[in-house]
């Protein structure tokens, strides 16, 4: 099993110049809490989350339409290959304590996003299947959900 078999493929992306109001509309329409940020060639340069937008809007006291993604996005983003084993993606999720991971192709262009939801909904948990084990998933969730003081 490979990440490309589990990931969400129809992923919306934005650029660093996109305003936050536009990103919020994208999130609303796609029912998601993260939008990958890409350059002109589709390469991931960061991500912006619903939390990033809330913090940026509240701390700047500006209309979200006047704040650009590059002022609120996370630039230190981990990605995984569409051909990666899901267990290696789980390790990245666990180590980084994140719930979603942009997926890139061999040219390093965005092709999807792998979320904990994808793993739970689409994974085959039979030990002989080569899929993600229940223990691996549970350990990843424990690491993601741990309070910072206990990490």
Q: Domain coordinates of the chain in residue numbers?
A: 3-150
DSSP letter (8 states) at residue 14: B
| pLDDT one-digit tens code per residue, 15-70 | 999 999 999 999 999 999 999 999 999 999 999 999 999 999 999 888 889 999 99
- Which of 57, 83, 78 lies closest to 144 in space, CA to CA? 78
| pLDDT one-digit tens code per residue, 58-101 | 998 888 899 999 999 999 999 999 999 988 999 999 999 999 99
For residues 95 and 13, what is the distance between their CA atoms, to the nearest angstrom? Answer: 24
DSSP letter (8 states) at residue 38: E
The single residue listed with the structure tokens 């589709």 is: 42
For residues 106 and 81, what is the distance between their CA atoms, to the nearest angstrom? Answer: 7
Instruction: Specify the pLDDT at position 124.
Output: 62
> How far lies 47's CA from each of 27, 77, 116, 129, 130, in Å?
12, 7, 16, 32, 30
Q: Is 98 helix (H, G, I), strand (E, B) or coil?
A: coil
Question: Domain 3-150 belongs to what architecture?
Answer: Roll (3.10)
Residues across the chain: 151
Instruction: Specify the pLDDT at position 54.
Output: 93
96's CB contacts (< 8 A; 6+ apart) are 78
């Amino acid at each position: 099993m490979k990440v490309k078999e589990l990931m969400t493929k129809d992923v919306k992306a934005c650029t660093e110049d996109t305003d936050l109001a536009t990103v919020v509309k994208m999130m609303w329409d796609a029912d998601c809490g993260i939008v990958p940020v890409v350059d002109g060639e589709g390469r991931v340069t960061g991500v912006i989350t619903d939390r990033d937008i809330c913090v940026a809007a509240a701390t700047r006291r500006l209309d979200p339409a006047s704040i650009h993604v590059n002022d609120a996005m996370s630039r230190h983003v981990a990605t995984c290959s569409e051909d990666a084993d899901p267990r290696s993606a789980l390790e990245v999720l666990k180590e980084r304590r994140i719930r979603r991971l942009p997926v890139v192709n061999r040219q390093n262009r965005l092709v999807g996003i792998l979320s904990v939801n994808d793993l739970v909904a689409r994974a085959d948990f039979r030990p002989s299947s080569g899929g993600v084990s229940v223990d691996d998933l549970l350990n990843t969730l424990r690491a993601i959900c741990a309070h910072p003081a206990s990490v």
